[in-house]
Structure 1
Amino acid sequence: TTTETTTTTTETTTTTTETTTTTTETTTTTTETTTTTTETTTTTTETTTTTTETTTTTTETTTTTTET
């Protein structure tokens, strides 16, 4: 009596876990402030006063006396 028992067990477990995480965050803040203030004040005061006073007084007295 020959009894031959052959048992072959082949177990293959393959686990592949691939995780790819890509996070891209871009924050751009541009603040440009241009303030131009131009104030011009021009005050011109010109005063010209011309006073011409002419007083002419002429007194002429002629006295003629003739006595005879």
Structure 2
Amino acid sequence: TTTTTETTTTTTETTTTTTETTTTTTETTTTTTETTTTTTETTTTTTETTTTTTETTTTTTETTTTTTETTTTTTETTT
């Protein structure tokens, strides 16, 4: 009696796990602040004062006094 028992067991297990994560974050913040302030203040004050005072006082006093007194006395006596 010959008994031959052959058992062949082949087990192949393949587990492949592929995880690919690609994260791209691009953040751009641009802040431009331009301030131009121009202040021009011009103050011009011109004061011109011309004062001309002319005072003329003329006083002329002329006094002419002519006094002529003539006294003639004639006495004639004839005798």
Alpha-carbon distance in 2 for matches of 1:8, 1:36? 90
Alpha-carbon distance in 1 for matches of 2:56, 2:33? 75
Unaligned 5+ residue runs, structure 2?
Answer: 1-9
Unaligned 5+ residue runs, structure 1?
Answer: none
* CA positional deviation for 1:62: 1.3
| Aligned residue-pair number | 68
Alpha-carbon distance in 2 for matches of 1:63, 1:29? 109
- SS of the equivalent of 2:29 reads coil
Tell me the TM-score normalised to structure 2 length.
0.73
* CA positional deviation for 1:37: 1.0
Tell me the TM-score normalised to structure 1 length.
0.83
Identity over the aligned pairs, expressed in percent? 100
